[in-house]
Structure 1
Amino acid sequence: MRKNILFAINRLREKLWFRPFIFCVVSILGALIAKLADATSIHEIVPEIKSESLGDLLNTISASMLVIAIFAVGSMISAFSAASSIATPRSFKLIIADDVSQNALSVFIGAFIYSIVAMVALKNGYYGTAGHFTLLVFTLLFFTLVILTFLRWVERISKLGRMGHTIKLVENAAFNAIKNRLKLPNLGGIAVNPSTVKGLAVFCETSGYVQQINMSRLQEIAEKLDVLITINAIQGSFVALDKPLFYISPQSNPVVVDDFSELINAFTMGHIRYFDEDPRFGLITLTEIASRALSPGINDPGTAIQIIGSHVRLFSLWNNASTTTVEKKITFDRIAVPEIVISDLFEDAFRPIARDGAANIEVTLRLQKAYTSLYAIDNFAIKKAALHHSYQSFERAVISNDFEDDINQLKSASLFTKQL
């Protein structure tokens, strides 16, 4: 249930209107709550504030905040466009969810709404002496918040949409997804036993990406029917009409299920992928940035080399997982969930870079050094994948390069030649 709530919250965070809406509500409440001070005795000790001075201050805020808010939206749209054009459109969701930019826009719009509401209330004699003083305090606090937010936002907008910042955002998203998956490699369920009969295949009537799986709901239905559910499509998998969504097998007496819609509805399907619980999507997005950088029109091998370093850091998480004894907690004993396959992750991360950078000796050398580093991880699947991709990357480079010295240098640095 917690993961489902976090998934919904993350989708709201990606909506550009959500935080400004919350801040607008808070601003309206702040302007009206100042009236409550008139019901207290503080009017006897606070100085009398002229409504004219308050009105001038509120007019200044309302006139400036609308202009700044429009400027902020324009700057954010430019940053979004830059991120999509120089990096990859898949990074758009991370850029638009930037906390600093959304908070800045929320403060600017909220301050504008606050000043309008407070001005209307002030002109109509809504406040008394204590209310005037409280409104002044609130207004000064809002003004201070606007200034601090603007200074912080100017520093962030200079980075937002830039290549380095975008790579960092994608790497952090992939880092969190991989880290969470390593904690629960089977999503809290049991491991899939290859020798066990999976049971009746259940297909989805629509096609799309699996975005979220309601494990609690599946467990509840499985206990009720006394069945074992073997998931065939985890988060990030594309499900078409020919691919089973899951398998269902009875544990005791044969169970006849005429309608699988309730089970199918436990899978959230969509047309796009999200970074939250999809480690492969983060790796794919990073590699897309590298492939674009290696295109003839851009020719930026430095970005590809930076991405290779990001991949090494991400795969190094398996080293921490292998050196730390973690007890696999089984919460859903009626659901079998396959683990992510290391070979698939290597294909997502390194194959496109090896293909597009085959003619660049700097990129291919950096790839071989990356494979050597990953081979040191105490994980058999990673060692096997690193050795396999080292050989493939070398063969691609041999086909694309004619200079013998480069080939000899690459061969001496290749992982697979050291293992012969």
Structure 2
Amino acid sequence: MEAPITVDRLRFLIYSFKEKLWVKPLGFCMLSLIVVFVAKIADGTSLAEHIPEIKAESVETLLSIMASSMMVIATFSAGTMVNAYASASQSSTPRSLSLIISDDVSQNALSVFIGAFIYSAVALTAISHTFFNEAGLFILFCLTCLTFAMVILTFIRWVDSVARLGRVGSTILKVEKATQRAIENRIKSPCLGAVPSGEVSQSKIKGQGTHPVFSQRVGYIQLIDIARIQQWASENDAFVIVNMLPGEFVTPDKVLAYVNRKDDVESIEQAYTISEERSFEADPRFGFVVLAEIASRALSPAINDHGTAISIISSVTRLLLLWKNSETTLPAEDELKREDYQYDRVSVPELSIQDLFDDAYTSISRDGAANIEVAIHIQKSLNAISNCFDKSSGFSESATHFATQSFKRSEQALAFSDDIERLRKCINQSSD
């Protein structure tokens, strides 16, 4: 019996399809073919007795205008999108390209233009062979007018969007929203619905984790199908200890999981979706990496745009504080038993808070160490996080650690003593 498709896997599949530029245009092409033949259905009804007469020449004229213009517009829109993708790769980071390609407005515009062209070409061919009677011509005329209106509205909306497509500010917002989705999903299922590794006793790890599972594939983990692992564990009366999280790099020497048997572990290895690139959907850390890359590029001597780096520090602060908002909604760990988890035969390690801060702040504090504005905003960001979380929490401890680390970098990089004193005041104010 196949494992059920989980919400996480379904969400990942939908996200993967959104990254494919051909999916929506293909869907609109199929829809345009169906719409043409829908008009023929009206010829088999008594609708012709109640509608005004529409000449085939007038419908043919409208369709000819649409057919001659839509392919030009579709070609123009595709060229504009390609230029925006190239601009995004150069001005921000190539890792953000998948988010820009999945932009709904651009994909919808290209799909509507290509679909309108296919519709007009097929409808013209049908009219030239006298395929429609009076009722069919009337319905086709209405559908053509509706298509014209859709094309015009789509074009206007697309022009407004394409002006910002690929720009740094727009890219930052897309990365932040994608990271926010991943964080919110991880907050709902901190360990992907499985038992946290900390909940599993050391004796159970030794007793049921004696045999490691390796992968012959090399790449990044994009998704772990926990439901498939749970089913395998139930059928084999086992407990699986997942050793790697989405976003980690897999090589044949890395242990994916630990099980209590040597044979029939192919299902465990196949439950991991491994690819050449990381994915935003199930990997909250990847969003912080991409944001830090954009900030580092903005701080390079060739660009020297500290305003972008400051904007990204604000985004990172908002994202990290999402965990603060979830503290009161999640049940305490000591109130949960192993049976309370959705996948009680699988344990998954929790996301490392230290790694989150390292992804978000290390490269920005290193590349912006000599920029007093960036250094001050890093201190303010980390101070806010430290103050918002409980002092004993991992977030507060990591924020304090990286604030000290960032100050030491800036203290060595800044040449003006007054700037160092300003930065030291930020540290003192936070400690007070």
When normalised by structure 1's length, the TM-score is: 0.96
Aligned pair partner of 1:118 in 95, 119, 123: 123
Q: What's the CA shift string for 1:325-358, capped at 9, x where partnerless? A: 4477611000000110111000000000000000
2:241/2:257 contact within 8 Å kept: yes
Equivalent positions of 1:2-401 (< 5 A) are: 2-193=7-198, 195=202, 196-197=205-206, 198-249=209-260, 256-326=261-331, 330-379=341-390, 380-401=393-414
Counterpart CA distance in 2 for 1:34 and 1:214 is 45
Counterpart CA distance in 2 for 1:418 and 1:354 is 18
Q: What's the CA shift string for 1:305-335, capped at 9, x where partnerless? A: 0000000000010110113244776110000
Amino acid at match of 1:337: V
DSSP-derived class of the 2:158 partner:
helix
Q: What's the CA shift string for 1:70-100, capped at 9, x where partnerless? A: 0100110111111110000000000000001
DSSP-derived class of the 1:92 partner:
helix
Amino acid at match of 2:219: G
CA apart distance, 1:386: 0.7
Counterpart CA distance in 2 for 1:325 and 1:218 is 25
Q: What's the CA shift string for 1:88-132, capped at 9, x where partnerless? A: 000000000000100010000000000000000001010000001
Partner of 1:414: 427
Counterpart CA distance in 1 for 2:426 and 2:431 is 11
1:290/1:303 contact within 8 Å kept: yes
DSSP-derived class of the 1:376 partner:
helix
DSSP-derived class of the 2:166 partner:
coil
Amino acid at match of 2:412: I
DSSP-derived class of the 2:64 partner:
helix
Counterpart CA distance in 1 for 2:23 and 2:431 is 55
CA apart distance, 1:260: 1.9
DSSP-derived class of the 2:326 partner:
helix
1:219/1:332 contact within 8 Å kept: yes
CA apart distance, 1:418: 4.3
CA apart distance, 1:206: 2.1
1:318/1:377 contact within 8 Å kept: no
Counterpart CA distance in 2 for 1:326 and 1:24 is 49
Percent identity reads 45
Partner of 1:252: none
DSSP-derived class of the 1:298 partner:
coil
Amino acid at match of 2:211: L
Amino acid at match of 1:393: S
Could you say if the C-alpha distance between residues 309 and 189 of structure 1 is closer, same or farther in structure 2, counting changes exceeding 3 Å? same
Gaps of 5+ in 2: none
1:374/1:386 contact within 8 Å kept: yes
Counterpart CA distance in 2 for 1:130 and 1:206 is 59
Q: What's the CA shift string for 1:363-382, capped at 9, x where partnerless? A: 00010001110002224101
Q: What's the CA shift string for 1:280-327, capped at 9, x where partnerless? A: 000000000000000111100000000000000000101101132447
Counterpart CA distance in 1 for 2:64 and 2:144 is 11
2:383/2:430 contact within 8 Å kept: no
Counterpart CA distance in 2 for 1:378 and 1:300 is 31
2:218/2:252 contact within 8 Å kept: yes
Counterpart CA distance in 2 for 1:267 and 1:235 is 9
1:355/1:396 contact within 8 Å kept: yes
Gaps of 5+ in 1: 250-255
Over the residues paired in the alignment, what is the CA RMSD in angstroms? 1.4
Counterpart CA distance in 2 for 1:53 and 1:297 is 58
Q: Number of residue pairs matched?
A: 413
Counterpart CA distance in 1 for 2:376 and 2:110 is 44
1:322/1:378 contact within 8 Å kept: no
Counterpart CA distance in 2 for 1:399 and 1:279 is 32
DSSP-derived class of the 1:236 partner:
coil
DSSP-derived class of the 1:227 partner:
coil
Counterpart CA distance in 1 for 2:210 and 2:99 is 39
